[in-house]
A and B are shown apart, each in its own frame.
Chain A
Amino acid sequence: MSGARLEIIERNCKGCSICVEFCPKNVLEMDVFLVTVPRPEDCIKCMQCELLCPDFAIKVHDE
């Protein structure tokens, strides 16, 4: 499923990795202390990362 764009607000991300662990489709990965999006095409827009990010650092946009 495609059509999702994940925006990472790097200034806000503290690297807690909650989004990476709770993503059911393994879309996200940690790059030391910053989250990256290596597989955006696998995103099913479940919004778990956005809901669980305590730092307002990730947004799931519908494209």
Chain B
Amino acid sequence: MAYDYEKSIRPGKLPHIWCPGCGHGIVMKGLIRAMDTCGLDRKNTAVVSGIGCASRLPGYLDACTLHTAHGRAAAFATGVKMAKPEMNVICCGGDGDGTAIGGNHFIHACRRNIDMTYVLMNNFIYGMTGGQFSPCTPTGAKASTTPYGNPDPIFDISKLAIGAGATFVARTTAAHPREIDKLIVQGIQHKGMAIIEVLDDCPTTYGRRNKFRSVIDMMKYLKASAVPVKAASKMTAEQLEGKFLTGVLFHDTDKPEYCAQYADIIKKAQGA
């Protein structure tokens, strides 16, 4: 009954560094369950991350892990996948790491449609560096660098990924733990770039500045704001105001995968 997470975690690594109530731990549990469901061999699975709170995740996992430069998770992961196409590659990172500092790498990994799964934990803020606003901080929300409210419009990560050419895009929240592993499993099984955006809570640097008095308020907000794609089709634009769609948002199996195409080029160059 109780799930054995410890077998997938490096010995002596718990308790982890994340703050009380931080959703990254929930996502990590989901990722472990998904990796087990897919039967991934730990020696043949690379988990790659950049810098940030969310990017600490691979350090705890007992797999081949790579903790790289800020925002460069997708670039390093592309390298791993190109050198060893038989390897399962999973990227982890936060919203600031993935879409601001690493925005360029993110969109180009999507464009190439290389076979990897990117679990992007969107907690609306740069948590580790002290709560600066990120491209995903909602307009009007307060951060340490926007004390009068954030004037910028947000990046919709899922729409960005679809627009950039990713072939599997899904979104869920940390308050829906069973959906996390379900979507990551689909992402791993998908042949091509899979983006799983997990909306997350950061009670320490986002919540306390934005009228979420506790972890519970943030979790309840995530739970209440998530609307499954099917339910959203029956709702009006006004009802969907301030909500976000969850579930599989985009799935395309026709677009060719990058490693396969590159293998063809190698064959051509070798005169076969």
Count of chain B residues near A, Cβ 8 A: 28
Q: How far is the CB of B13 from chain A (nearest CB, A)?
A: 10
Contact A7/B15 with A51-B29, A53-B25, A54-B26 known, Cβ cut-off 8 Å? no
Cβ contacts B71-90/A at 8 Å (1 or 0 each): 00000000000000000000
B residues in contact with A45, CB < 8 Å: 1
A residues in contact with B6, CB < 8 Å: 56
A residues in contact with B1, CB < 8 Å: 45, 47, 60-62
- Asked if A56 and B215 make an inter-chain contact with CB atoms under 8 angstroms apart, the answer reads no
- Asked if A14 and B178 make an inter-chain contact with CB atoms under 8 angstroms apart, the answer reads no
In chain A, residues 9-63, which have Cβ atoms closer than 8 Å to a Cβ of chain B?
11-12, 14-18, 21-22, 45, 47, 50-57, 59-62
B residues in contact with A53, CB < 8 Å: 25-26, 29
Q: How far is the CA of A52 from the CA of B27 in the complex (A)?
A: 9
How would you classify the secondary structure of chain A's contact residues: helix, strand, loop or mixed?
A: loop
B residues in contact with A56, CB < 8 Å: 5-6, 9, 14-16, 25, 29
B177 lies within 8 A of chain A by Cβ: yes
A residues in contact with B16, CB < 8 Å: 55-56
Q: How far is the CB of B185 from chain A (nearest CB, A)?
A: 15
Contact A61/B2 with A12-B15, A22-B219, A54-B18 known, Cβ cut-off 8 Å? yes
In chain B, residues 11-30, which have Cβ atoms closer than 8 Å to a Cβ of chain A?
14-16, 18-26, 29
Contact of B15 among A11, A22, A51 (CB under 8 A): A11
B residues in contact with A11, CB < 8 Å: 14-15
B3 lies within 8 A of chain A by Cβ: yes
B216 lies within 8 A of chain A by Cβ: yes
Contact A18/B15 with A53-B25, A54-B21, A54-B26 known, Cβ cut-off 8 Å? no
Of B9, B22, B177, B203, the most chain A CB neighbours within 10 A belong to B177
In chain B, residues 188-246, which have Cβ atoms closer than 8 Å to a Cβ of chain A?
203, 214-216, 219
Please classify how large the interface on chain A is, using the bins under 10, 10 to 19, 20 to 34, 35 or more.
20 to 34
Of B1, B19, B215, the most chain A CB neighbours within 10 A belong to B1
A residues in contact with B215, CB < 8 Å: 16-18
- Asked if B21 and A16 make an inter-chain contact with CB atoms under 8 angstroms apart, the answer reads yes
- Asked if A51 and B178 make an inter-chain contact with CB atoms under 8 angstroms apart, the answer reads yes
- Asked if A54 and B3 make an inter-chain contact with CB atoms under 8 angstroms apart, the answer reads no
The 6 A-B pairs of least Cβ separation, nearest first, read A54-B25, A16-B21, A62-B1, A14-B20, A59-B2, A51-B177
Q: List, sorted by A's number, 28 A–B pairs whose CB atoms are closer than 8 Å.
A: A11-B14, A12-B14, A14-B20, A16-B203, A16-B215, A18-B21, A22-B219, A45-B1, A47-B1, A50-B2, A51-B29, A51-B177, A51-B178, A52-B26, A52-B175, A52-B177, A53-B25, A53-B26, A54-B21, A54-B26, A54-B174, A55-B15, A55-B16, A56-B9, A56-B16, A59-B2, A59-B3, A62-B1
Extra 6 A-B pairs, beta carbons < 8 Å, given A7-B2, A45-B1, A51-B29: A15-B20, A52-B26, A53-B26, A55-B16, A57-B15, A59-B2
Chain B contact residues, CB within 8 Å of chain A? 1-3, 5-6, 9, 14-16, 18-26, 29, 174-175, 177-178, 203, 214-216, 219
